[in-house]
Structure 1
Amino acid sequence: NPDGCEFLLVFDDGNFSESDTVLLSDAIGHLPTEVLAKNFAVGEQAFKNVPKEELFIFQADLPGSLEADQKAAAGARGRSPQNFAFRTMEMPPTLKTKGGDVRVVDSSNFKASTTAMALVTVHPGGLRELHWHPNADEWQYYISGKGRMTVVAAGNRARTMDFQEGDVGYVQKTLLHYIENTGDTDLVFLEMFGKVDRFQDLSFSEWLAHTPPEAVMAHLRIDKATFDAIPKNGGVVMPL
């Protein structure tokens, strides 16, 4: 694209940095030309213009067609049987409600994935319901809109934060939280979970609805009608 492109890199190690990646130009630039010539079976002159500094983002000719690149990458061994790209917006929503929708991508529909992800859209006035994730910490990237999140931890601790386009959020595994749309346009964000191949989500409403009514009513001091109104199957994005 002559206008450039934007992409998001997500790593499953909080200590990792893109700066730690070994770049092609960096690796080759540290090798003697005679070694390169022997390794690639060409003359030393072929590598006379190899850059001595790393090339991170730089100008080059526009690539050819996708088909040509795929053919070159396949080589003599042929194409990999595994797909390494998933068209999230081409899939129907995993769940759609009046409040918004969610598209879940994990190893159940993207076999190569060892990271789980959900693309969440919350309409104005909607709520990503109270919930927690039992199997992994959650990283969030806010694509558009404005939102507010409260995270509740043990020991009488909680924190509420506002988010907007380009912000990153974090929720530790098993901590109760919600995300509310506080703007007048759709709130769109990613939920990402490293080192797990399945998306797992526990609805607070569903958990309460399957707890003995007397225990819930005693703890929250609510009546039976209120308890009976709690959604028994959760909703992911409210209202249902």
Structure 2
Amino acid sequence: MAQISRRNALGAGAGIAAATALGAAAPAAADAEPAPSPASPGEGRHPHLFSLAKSAPATYHGGTLRGATEHTFPVLSGQQGSVYLIHLDPGGVREPHWHPTAWELNYVLSGRAEWSILGTHPDGSYHNDVFTAEQGELVFAPQGFFHYFANPSDTEGLDVLALFNTSAAEPNDDIGIVGTLNSLPREILAASFGIPVSAFDRVPRDLKPVVITRRP
């Protein structure tokens, strides 16, 4: 089991207290490319204040991602903390992934999230936890545990506030299933699954993370 870091755990918990303020104003998906940046002091913004809900989103097939990291919110530099506002459209899926150096604390602002977390548990067993998180509930994904969440609704969006004990941007501590599979030779995958190499012929070989997608 990967060691769960407790750096600034109290700071991350304090962020949850403010999360409900974003719930009513969670933005809809947009087509803008990611270009978030903090306003300068000359624009009347305090260095300890960041408009997460109004920041430019990274847009994907299935939802959007807005982040406050040391790159977009400089006051976080060296503080071991970052926050993401994740919106999944109906049927949206957060790519299955794991974080090698950070735990993840998720607060459901609106909607309902189907979760899956795979890892070694305190009783020594290795199994998958599958459950549903409702509005107002917290989900903790330990450091190094493989996980994903999805929006099961066909009509309603899902908004989640995710806090990490790292100041770095998520791509620097986010290893997705697409990149994980494609980092391995096809014969190794075939041997691991006990199936012919040809079974992986239709699997794309791209290492680029999907991040957010949508059910077919």
Task: State TM-score, norm by structure 2.
Answer: 0.69
- Find the aligned partners of 1:15 and 1:238 in 2 and give their Cα distance: 30
Which structure exhibits the higher relative contact order, with contacts defined as CA atoms closer than 8 Å and separated by 6 or more residues?
A: 2
1:87 to 33, 46, 51: 51
- For residues 16 and 112 of structure 1, do their structure 2 counterparts lie closer, same or farther at Cα, with a shift above 3 Å needed? closer
Match of 2:104 in 1: 138
Secondary structure in 2 matching 1:166: coil
Larger Rg: 1
Is 1:12 paired with 2:8?
yes
1:233 to 202, 208, 211: 208
- For residues 121 and 83 of structure 1, do their structure 2 counterparts lie closer, same or farther at Cα, with a shift above 3 Å needed? same
Secondary structure in 2 matching 1:235: coil
1:160 to 102, 125, 130: 130
Cα pair 1:102 1:118 within 8 Å, conserved: yes
Deviation, 1:13, is 2.6
Is 1:208 paired with 2:204?
no
Deviation, 1:185, is 0.7
Match of 1:108 in 2: 71
RMSD: 2.6
2:164 to 183, 190, 193: 193
Determine what percentage of the aligned residue pairs are the same residue. Answer: 21
Q: Which has the higher helix share?
A: 1
Deviation, 1:123, is 1.0
- Find the aligned partners of 1:172 and 1:140 in 2 and give their Cα distance: 11
- Find the aligned partners of 1:193 and 1:167 in 2 and give their Cα distance: 17
| Superposed CA offset, 1:145-173 (max 9, x none) | 11110100134311111011101000100
Q: Structure 2 unaligned segments of length 5 or more: list them.
A: 1-6, 15-44
Deviation, 1:12, is 3.3
| Superposed CA offset, 1:48-107 (max 9, x none) | xxxxxxxxxxxxxxxxxxxxxxxxxxxxxxxxx9700111122211x3112111112110
> Number of residue pairs matched?
165
- Find the aligned partners of 1:232 and 1:107 in 2 and give their Cα distance: 25
- Find the aligned partners of 2:75 and 2:161 in 1 and give their Cα distance: 19
Deviation, 1:207, is 1.5
Secondary structure in 2 matching 1:185: coil
For 1:86, the aligned partner's letter is F
For 1:238, the aligned partner's letter is T
Q: Structure 1 unaligned segments of length 5 or more: list them.
A: 1-10, 19-80
